[in-house]
Amino acid sequence: SRFLGRGKNWKIKGQKKKSKKQRRKQKQEENDMKISKIRIMNWKKRNFEFSPEKLNYCFHQNGYGKTSILDALRYGLTGNLSGYEADGSAVEVVEGSRGLDIYRAHSGTSTVCKTGGPQGKKVTEKVLNKVLSDVSGISVENLKLLSSGDIFSHMKPDDFLALLLEF
């Protein structure tokens, strides 16, 4: 193969140039945070561990932990407890492509934060939030807003469906 041009606009001879839409999609995919594993320990006296796919559905009768999973995930990503007393609970969220492994454990009135999983390095909540924000490209304040059920309860059904179909 022979390289043509200089700088960031070089291409291999015979290779078709990507359209603006293809370049935008590739950049978006490079920036997407894809959670590869979630471990929830002692959340409302229940444990969960799963590896989510592109879109996951949780269906069951009341009282089986659907909302608990979402509350625990919100806590793991943002530190928000949303009124639940989570003493002794812990959440680990792993994002495999970038090596992010964050862990939050609640004890009494404080949260223990670690990078690298439960056995990882202890860090402040501010540092953990910064790492998460750097990897996801979303500020923790926006994650708190996005993880709130309030945002979905105010959407029109068609808008909510359109949002789901994007995934």
Structure-model confidence comparison of residues 4 and 56, the more confident one: 56
> Residue 97's pLDDT is what?
77
Cα(165)–Cα(15) distance, rounded to whole angstroms?
32
Taking the alpha carbons of 148, 153, 159, 161 in that order, is the dihedral positive or negative?
positive
Number of H helices, E strands in the chain: 6, 8
The letter for the amino acid at 103 is Y
Contact present, 93 and 35 (Cβ < 8 Å):
yes
> Residue 68's pLDDT is what?
81
The percent of the chain in helix, strand and coil, each rounded to the nearest 5, is 35, 25, 40
> Residue 10's pLDDT is what?
46
Q: What is the CA radius of gyration of the chain?
A: 20
Residue 163: pLDDT band by 50, 70, 90 thresholds? low
Lowest-pLDDT range, 34-43, 116-125, 139-148? 139-148
> Residue 3's pLDDT is what?
41
> Residue 2's pLDDT is what?
41
The letter for the amino acid at 106 is H
Taking the alpha carbons of 148, 114, 105, 66 in that order, is the dihedral positive or negative?
positive
Closest listed residue to residue 100, CA positions, set 164, 15, 36, 146: 36
Average pLDDT for 9-21: 59
Sheet holding 46-50, edge to edge: 46-50, 35-43, 90-95, 100-107, 110-115, 121-123
Give the ranges where the chain is alpha helix by DSSP (H): 20-31, 66-78, 125-136, 140-146, 149-153, 157-165
Contact present, 48 and 65 (Cβ < 8 Å):
yes
> Residue 157's pLDDT is what?
77
